[in-house]
A = this chain, B = another copy of it.
Amino acid sequence: MSGPDPTREVADWWATAVSRIEPGVIELRGRPVQDLIGTTTLAEMIWLLVRGDSPAPGQARLLEAALVAGVDHGPQAPSIAIARMTATCGVGLNSAMANGVNALGDVHGGAGQQCVELLNEICDRGADVPHAAREVLAEWRARSPYIPGFGHRFHPVDPRRDPLLSLVDEAVRDGVVAGRHLAAARAVEDVLTRRVPMNIDGATAVIYAELGFAPPLARGLFVLSRSVGILAHAWEETRQGRRIKGPIPPSILPTYLSQ
């Protein structure tokens, strides 16, 4: 037998602080699950599992608002269309959802992640926020024409921006968050001359950054949020009875094929 204790090696290999499971015991971040059921909201549970501690009520409210805001954007979004089509191919709802989630990559679901990075950079650049915003934006624009969190292919003004930023303003007033990332985001909007307004990724990035979530978690939390719409759409598609649904309506397919 090998030198090290193999069972301890396996234990270390799968060590986790997220939960402890033993026969009859389920502790989530040290809290017995039976104490959490019925006393904890889903948003509070998300915070607890991901962060390891319990959020203050104001923090939980902000997180919940961000999660609620991002749940859906209709079938023109590939994550939604993909989940709908997959649902017609004879797989379980979980696989239709998996396909939708898998499409929330760097430019679809990852924009929030990159926006948190952008806001963090601005906050770290110094006390003069407008100056920091101009500098950092110039560096980002040298790399890509797309500024994550700003602009939207559909909405001249994203209807989710104002309600979310209002909640952040309140949270600043209540001392729940500091407001630095909010200021950074508004400075970016000013630099972009409001022609490229903050979108859902930007508004939620403000919230996630203010709450101290690391950038990749902006993507992870957006995934939880968008999973709700993905489920609703995949489920609705299964009720509509189509099989092997492709992107082109059958009625115009012959014309398309013959062109």
Contact = CB atoms under 8 A, between A and B. Distances in A.
Contacts of A249: 6, 9-10, 12-13
A141 interface: no
A220 B97 contact: yes
A128 B137 CA distance: 40
B252 A45 contact: no
Interface residues of A, number: 127
B94 A86 contact: no
A230 B98 CA distance: 12
B68 A91 contact: no
Contact of A6 (B10, B17, B36, B146): B10
Interface string A215-245: 0110111011001110111111010000111
Interface in A7-38: 7-14, 16-26, 28, 32-34, 36-38
Contact of A232 (B4, B50, B102, B232): B50
A129 to B, nearest CB: 25
Interface in A75-111: 75-79, 81-82, 84-86, 88-95, 97-99, 101-110
A174 interface: no
Contacts of A21: 73-74, 76, 154, 257
A234 to B, nearest CB: 7
Given A9-B251, A236-B16, A105 B110 contact: no
A115 interface: no
* A-B complex: 4 closest residue pairs judged by Cβ atoms: A90-B106, A91-B105, A90-B107, A98-B102
